[in-house]
Amino acid sequence: MKIGLMGGGFDPLHVGHLGAAQDAADQLGLDRVIMLPAAETPRKPGAALTAGDRRLAMLKLATADHPLLEVSDFELTQGGVSFTINTVRHFRDHYPQDELFWIIGADQVESLDHWRSIDELALLTEFIYLARPGHHIKAPPATPGLTLHRCQGRCLDISSTKLRENLRQNEPVNEFIPPEVIVYIGQWKLYQ
Ligand code: ATP
Ligand code: MG
């Protein structure tokens, strides 16, 4: 079995995330993709993310009817800064026979060499990156043994940062966030 893993803040989840997971699965023949909201992200430790249970709920709503996409609360229950190496070690132990693929957007590629324990990470998982508008990769990672698959995908110009801004200003987001997630955001008055 080929298992994709995708971490992030998902604050909020948007169709760029869902598209990236689907495109990676289609092009690399993944059997399932597990999405993992971070407790805190290494890139912005201590940053005020929306409560983990809300971000988890949004992911669950958006993936409920999706045969390929799953959600895990592993990083949230671990707490603290969610280093990918800890998550991948866990899934490697849990699925010793399966191939693991860590899915990222192009904005993450140039920093990969500096991820915690990248040498070990490169042994435990392959990486897939999705093109993202405005992010051109000048220097591919130099970590020995690292496998990085490029996935062209749908290349959507969407970010959670922009959507938080739109929501705060009451601008429409229905093109970018699934309807059931928009309802949830309204119910809990998130991003006001
Ligand atoms: P923020 O603006 O808060 O950083 P984001 O939109 O970048 O939010 P994250 O939760 O940071 O979303 O991203 C989780 C993962 O999804 C990262 O690997 C990121 O590169 C990837 N990703 C996010 N948006 C897209 C997109 N539009 N296309 C491809 N990959 C994406
Ligand atoms: Mg981001």
- Cβ-contact 5, 33 below 8 angstroms: yes
Q: Which atom of ligand 1 is nearest to 38's Cα?
A: 10
Between 139 and 92, the more confident residue is 92
**Does the predicted model carry a pTM greater than 0.85?**
yes
For residue 80, the 8-state DSSP code is S
* Ligand 2 geometric centre to CA of 169 (Å): 20
pLDDT band at 45 (very low <50, low <70, confident <90, very high): confident
Q: Over pLDDT 90: what percentage of the chain?
A: 89
Give strand pairing partners of 153.
none
| Burial of 5 (C-beta count, 10 Å sphere; 0-12/13-18/19+) | buried
Average pLDDT value for the chain = 96
20 lines ligand 1 (CB under 6 A): yes
pLDDT at residue 112 in the model: 97
191 phi-psi bin (left φ>0, alpha ψ -120 to 50, beta other): left
| Residue 132 beta carbon below 6 angstroms from any ligand 1 atom | yes
Helix (H) or strand (E) run with residue 111 in it:
none
Q: Where are the domains of the chain?
A: 2-157
Would you say residue 170 has pLDDT above 90? Answer: yes
Q: Is the pLDDT of residue 191 over 90?
A: yes
CATH of domain 2-157: 3.40.50.620
Span 62-118, pLDDT tens digits: 999 999 999 999 999 999 999 999 999 999 999 999 999 999 999 999 999 999 999
Which range (6-10, 132-136, 158-162, 183-187) has the least confidence? 132-136
